[in-house]
Structure 1
């Protein structure tokens, strides 16, 4: 029977390496022509994560745990390096040393995802497959903020004439901001909130909201691919945000299953 740490490690690397590669592409597209050094660095990260994906294809769920742990360390370092690059870009932007088409919140957003990826690999190498009950709320705060950010980015990248879609994006942004605040409140009530019924209700509520946003992203992706709406949204970015919503739903299911085992 495959080792669950191996299975989960390969899954995390498969998903997040592609995300990191796409982040690098989006950053490079947002830089101006005079920011060639930053563009070149982004391209280097695209190549790095393509190599990781190629190496990943050599492993299977039956691979040796020690080999996977060594691979995790290698990918962890790549995740840390791209986090450093993203934070450098954010610093340059906030200090007005560069002006690009990359929103500061977007750069912060993708750096948070790099940090999450690195931390997951570290946890897996420590034998931590699923978070403890007290960490479930914190991880949901992370993903709820990611979803809220996505809604904000979509709203700002749609053409202003797409009034109905812009308003829908704003509503999703507001709804997920409220869910973030609700999760923070619940987190502050620990340990009293660390009961299975309360956590299950919390996860169920999140699942409904994320599924609704996922469907909105799916529709937006299809409309963008068919050139039926006006926006500055790259088709790959639309698909990127859709996949992250799908991922959050999978993680909620994973959390629910882990709660049932406790």
Structure 2
């Protein structure tokens, strides 16, 4: 039987290394032409995570766990470095050191949160300290609901203002996911008393419906952008990027639902 540690590690690395690679590209697009040092650093991280992504594809679920544990350590180091790079950029923007750039502070904070999530997951896997199911459900939902709310805000700001209907849809999604996020935070603060199977199941059901709607909206926007049928400054790769992250959240929700139904200890 495949080792769950190996399969989980490879799944996380294959998904998130591509995300980190694309973050490097998006950040570079937002720098000014004179920010050559930052552009070079972004290019370095793009190459680093492209290499990691390619290496991950060379492993299988039957790979030696010791080899994968070492690989996780290497990737953790790279994720820590790109996190520090992103936080440096955020500091420069907030101190008005990059006037004229087009990277929103919230976007830079957003991508740094994802880098931190990635490196923490690798550390948890190597230490064998993954959250128990009730904690994992709440923590993952708090994290991803904020990510989805951010995406809606970015889409609304990057669409041309004349695309009034799409802009309004993005604003509505932003409001909806802010509300879901606050609900998830409330459930988190009520722990451990809130960690009952009915409440956790309801959270997953409610979030799944909204994430599916947002995923479909992102898919439509992505297809329209690729066909040059709407006005925006959204790069086609960014449109696909946020669509894949919604798909990832749905995949996680489905896995939680399956685990929750099998777990007899949660009442």
TM range (shorter): over 0.9
Q: Could you tell me how far apart the structure 2 residues matched to 1:66 and 1:197 are?
A: 39
Q: Which residue of 2 aligns with 1:16?
A: 16
Contact 1:4 1:129 in 2 (8 A): no
Q: Which residue of 2 aligns with 1:91?
A: 91
Contact 2:21 2:49 in 1 (8 A): yes
- SS in structure 1 of the partner of residue 33 of structure 2: coil
Q: Could you tell me how far apart the structure 2 residues matched to 1:10 and 1:81 are?
A: 20
5 Å matches for 1:1-262?
A: 1-99=1-99, 100-128=101-129, 131-262=132-263
Q: CA deviation at 1:132?
A: 3.3
Contact 1:89 1:107 in 2 (8 A): yes
Q: Deviations over 1:216-240 (max 9, x none)?
A: 0000000000000000000000000
Structure 1 residues 220, 131: closer, same or farther in 2, change over 3 A?
A: farther
Q: Could you tell me how far apart the structure 1 residues matched to 2:239 and 2:70 are?
A: 33
Q: Deviations over 1:140-188 (max 9, x none)?
A: 1110000000000000000000000000000000000000111111112
- SS in structure 2 of the partner of residue 254 of structure 1: helix
Q: Could you tell me how far apart the structure 1 residues matched to 2:192 and 2:7 are?
A: 31
CA-based RMSD: 1.0
Q: Could you tell me how far apart the structure 1 residues matched to 2:50 and 2:70 are?
A: 18
Gaps of 5+ in 1: none
Q: CA deviation at 1:131?
A: 4.2
**What TM-score, normalized by structure 1, do the two folds share?**
0.98
Contact 2:158 2:234 in 1 (8 A): yes
The count of corresponding residues between Structure 1 and Structure 2 is 262
